[in-house]
Amino acid sequence: MPKQAPPRVILCLGLKSSGSTWLYNVAIRILKEARLPRGAVAAFFADNSAMLPVGAEKAQILVIKSHEPSRSILFLTRFARGKVLVSVREPRDSVASLMQRFGHSFESSLRDVRVGAGHVVALSRERGAMILRYEDGFADDERTVDHVARFLGVRLSKAARTRIFRSLTREAVQKKIEKLHKGETDPNAFDFTTQWHPGHVGDGRVGKFKKVLTAAQQRKIELATKDYSKAFGYRRARKR
């Protein structure tokens, strides 16, 4: 049962390939354990108000996944005194992961990470923000479910925590994706409810950029994300 009313808006934001979709699904499952009335929770992706689904206003709680939230999404979150779940990752690894898992070009991946990094830095300063670092392995740690539940004001039993975590292990998510996207060949396809893409589950490796990116590409990313890297303590590569 909730120990207090969960926030009306929960915004899940993160650098691409940093685990933000995992956090989004954790938040949804935690709210299900709160035994709220049917239809009380509406979960969806939206970067702007035009992307809000029809009927969302009837829900008690909105769980919004976003990478480039517009002023309207930020206003909604702030007006509702919402909570923000923010995931961060070494930007060079994020670019490398996008290129490997989705077949995106370097320039396209760089653009997404550069723009997303600016939003992440801004949102991490919100009073109601919880920051999780990819390199800490939060998606592979059952305790993360407890941390997020407390942040959202929901009390979980040990059994519920374990049930949620086991449903979102890498193996469980991969099986879910295979079921959702059977026969799908487009790596950019996604399931509306979970936001899982066919290539969503990565290898979790830290420092993969060293084998994927050229030295010139690494420097481009460093220059494009210097404020982000400074804010979250990601060091620039040493000069060769």
Mean pLDDT of the chain: 90
Which residue range(s) make up the domain with 156?
A: 9-232
pLDDT at 1 (0 to 100): 40
d(CA 134, CA 107) in angstroms, rounded, equals: 23
Which of 32-46, 109-123, 177-191 bottoms out in mean pLDDT, i.e. has the lowest? 177-191
Residue 239 counted as domain residue: no
Give the list of residues 6+ apart from residue 19 with CB closer than 8 angstroms, or none: 87, 89, 132, 134, 138, 139
Distance CA 207, CA 205 (A): 6
Q: What pLDDT, on a 0 to 100 scale, did the predictor assign at position 181? A: 74
Distance CA 57, CA 170 (A): 33
* Predicted pLDDT of residue 119: 96
**pLDDT the model gives residue 204:** 79
* pLDDT, average across residues 12-38: 93
Query: Tokens 């998606």, residue?
Result: 139
Q: For residue 201, is it within any domain? A: yes
pLDDT score recorded for residue 4: 63
The closest alpha carbon to 148, from 163, 162, 136, 131, belongs to 131
pLDDT at 132 exceeding the cut of 90: yes
- Is pLDDT larger for residue 71 or for residue 202? 71
Q: Number of folded domains in the chain?
A: 1
Lowest mean pLDDT among 93-97, 115-119, 173-177: 173-177
Is residue 188 predicted with pLDDT exceeding 50?
yes
Q: Give 201-222 pLDDT, tens digit per residue.
A: 667 789 999 999 999 999 999 9
Q: Decide: 84 and 30 in contact? Cβ < 8 Å.
A: no
| Res. 185 pLDDT band, cuts 50 70 90 | low
Q: What is the pLDDT of residue 190?
A: 73
Give the pTM. Answer: 0.90
Strand intervals (E) in the chain: 9-14, 41-45, 61-66, 83-88, 129-133
Tokens of residue 52, six digits: 């809000």
Question: What torsion, rounded to 10 degrees, do the Cα atoms 211, 215, 216, 217 define?
Answer: 30
In a domain, 240, yes or no: no
35: alpha, beta or left, given left = phi > 0 and alpha = psi -120 to 50?
left
Residue 156, in any domain of the structure: yes
In the prediction, which pLDDT does 94 show?
97
pLDDT at 184 > cutoff 50 = yes
pLDDT class of 2 with cuts at 50, 70, 90: very low
pLDDT at 237: 54
- Assigned domain for 238 exists: no
Has residue 130 been placed in a domain?
A: yes
| CATH number for the domain harbouring residue 136 | 3.40.50.300
Q: Say if 141 falls within a structural domain.
A: yes
| Rounded (5°) CA angle 61-15-7 | 15
- Is residue 1 situated within a structural domain? no
Q: Taking every pair of C-alpha atoms in the chain, what is the biggest distance, in angstroms? A: 59
In percent, how much of the chain has pLDDT > 90?
Answer: 75
Report pLDDT digits (tens) over 44-55: 999 999 999 999
